[in-house]
Chain A
């Protein structure tokens, strides 16, 4: 096998991150000041991963007998995870010290979960999907409950754990059924013979069980019950981490499972499943978010409705949808990380300052933060020059191409509803008199994270073609 050394060079992003995790563990263990160093080490690791992934974008390789795929769409996802990881780390440096759960393990677990996400995005086999999923989820359970003296964090962790493990049960049983029909667990075989296998009732049952499991992970409607509680109860930077990167990773697996559908522009019987999920998630998320006063909880419901918009693309099931969802995921990741970054700067001890009232008159006290928050809220609502608009636009276009105009109309209706609760935040910040004094500790690295997120949102919004043409080129190859 002349390929062998080459294969190890190609998985260098994974190897670097794995080595970095071990080094971080040792640093945390043996140096008293180690945890001061860890965020910078993590940022360096994520930047190396990003650099290596950029180099791989245009060369797609199938490695280790079809277990792992590098380059192409996985490389773009790795880039997204690495960029989001850097933002989360910047956000966490000051945040962890502020609210009394300053443990070095936070950085270690974040790195582990990013490694899991990269495995998920690059998986070429159901074994890799399962291992990547668990490598991502188990650190998430710990991260949510890390502040173990706080009852709300405990409760969030327990709900997340029980429902996450429940979803895993569905996924494993689905994989078992698919394995029985295919005789192997290769996703390449699954893609090539998808339309032959999908005549088989047991195969389709297994496939739908897997999709149900991942619907939990993307927080779509009938499987959303954990989302608001977990997003509210977890520490704000952890919420940012799992609401954006966790969702992107789950979508990356759905892409791989549905590659056959996307590449043939054909749609499938599964289109109906996704159409139902999309409609319910969009409307439920938008309508319930109207009545929320807690900003974290409001963003949780908005996250459900965003999952709905992206599921429109899954229902459409064509190449344009694939590109559209990838764009949407990138935009959504940076919008949400920016929003949670600002919330983490403003919130005080015990999450007291996450209510809308704390944001009243923010423009007078912190004009910069208020301006960034307004920008992000406009972007989430989908006001044109921002990234969120183009995400929705591309997804809706793909639905119309697949003769699902009604679904796009539901999406537009839901966006109109959602403008109300996004702009309510802006109204509170700019047109309300300040209420009781809020205390905000300045935290420059978190400011940097918010600024980066803002720049990325604007640049994705102003130059959507640059990003989209890369994705479309990769898909067409």
Chain B
């Protein structure tokens, strides 16, 4: 049985990463921006796992566990921050959160 070539994984993950970056840059809802960031992290995870299976060494898979753990911690803090701002301003739209200007 032939396995899927590594290039397919890399192209898919590069595509996911680009979607994530675009999402961060053009979306205006803080939650959606945050989801796009998670997509970037997951594309990196996919790359790591693909390389790990291609190279036949486990370092990449171990790294993915670290990334997932850290992403969970980051999500906890990030959602708490977004809730805090929603309580004060009743919006999570980035364009309306603009006290600071130069």
Contact = CB atoms under 8 A, between A and B. Distances in A.
Contact of A155 (B10, B21, B43, B100): B100
Q: Please tell me the size bucket of the interface on B.
A: 35 or more
B12 interface: no
A2 interface: no
Most buried by A among B13, B34, B73, B88: B88
A152 B99 contact: yes
B64 to A, nearest CB: 9
Contacts of B57: 183-184
B82 interface: yes
Contacts of A145: 81, 84
A165 B102 contact: no
Interface string B6-43: 00001001000100110010000010011001001101
A55 B67 CA distance: 34
Nearest to B100: A229
Given A154-B85, A179-B60, A134 B73 contact: yes
B51 A151 contact: no
A168 B38 CA distance: 10
A130 B97 contact: no
Contacts of B21: 169
Interface in A107-166: 126-127, 130-131, 134, 138, 141-142, 145, 148-149, 151-152, 154-158, 161-162, 165-166
A158 B63 CA distance: 27
B47 to A, nearest CB: 4
B51 A179 contact: yes
A297 interface: yes
A391 interface: no
A236 interface: no
A446 to B, nearest CB: 25
Interface stretch (A8-16, A69-77, A170-178, A238-246): A170-178
B1 interface: no
Given A127-B66, A148-B84, A233-B100, A177 B34 contact: no
Interface string A279-319: 00000000010011000010000000000000000000000
A232 B102 CA distance: 11
A169 B44 contact: yes
A220 B5 CA distance: 39
Interface string B66-102: 1100100110011001101100110000100111101
Contacts of B40: 166, 169-170, 172-173
A260 to B, nearest CB: 21
Given A154-B89, A169-B20, A161 B78 contact: yes
A271 interface: no
Contacts of B59: 179, 184-185
A472 B40 CA distance: 40
A104 interface: no
B74 A157 contact: no
B26 to A, nearest CB: 13
A158 B44 CA distance: 23
B99 A155 contact: yes
A367 interface: no
A243 to B, nearest CB: 16
Given A134-B70, A179-B60, A185-B63, A166 B37 contact: yes
Given A154-B81, A176-B44, A138 B102 contact: no
A162 B63 CA distance: 22
B92 to A, nearest CB: 8
B101 to A, nearest CB: 9
A199 B84 CA distance: 47
A176 B100 contact: no
Nearest to B56: A183
Given A161-B78, A179-B51, A180-B55, A127 B102 contact: no
A180 B44 CA distance: 11
B88 A172 contact: no
B63 A138 contact: no
A228 interface: yes
B102 A288 contact: yes
A151 B99 contact: yes
B17 A155 contact: no
Contacts of B48: 175-176, 179
B63 A175 contact: yes
Give 5 nearest A-B pairs by CB, closest first: A169-B40, A180-B51, A176-B47, A172-B44, A154-B85
11 contacts: A134-B70, A138-B73, A151-B85, A151-B99, A154-B85, A158-B85, A161-B77, A173-B17, A173-B43, A176-B45, A179-B63
Interface of B: 10, 13, 17, 20-21, 24, 30, 33-34, 37, 40-41, 43-45, 47-48, 50-51, 54-55, 57, 59-60, 62-63, 66-67, 70, 73-74, 77-78, 81-82, 84-85, 88-89, 94, 97-100, 102
Given A138-B73, A169-B20, 13 more contacts: A151-B89, A154-B84, A158-B85, A162-B34, A162-B78, A162-B94, A165-B78, A172-B41, A179-B59, A180-B51, A183-B55, A185-B63, A288-B102
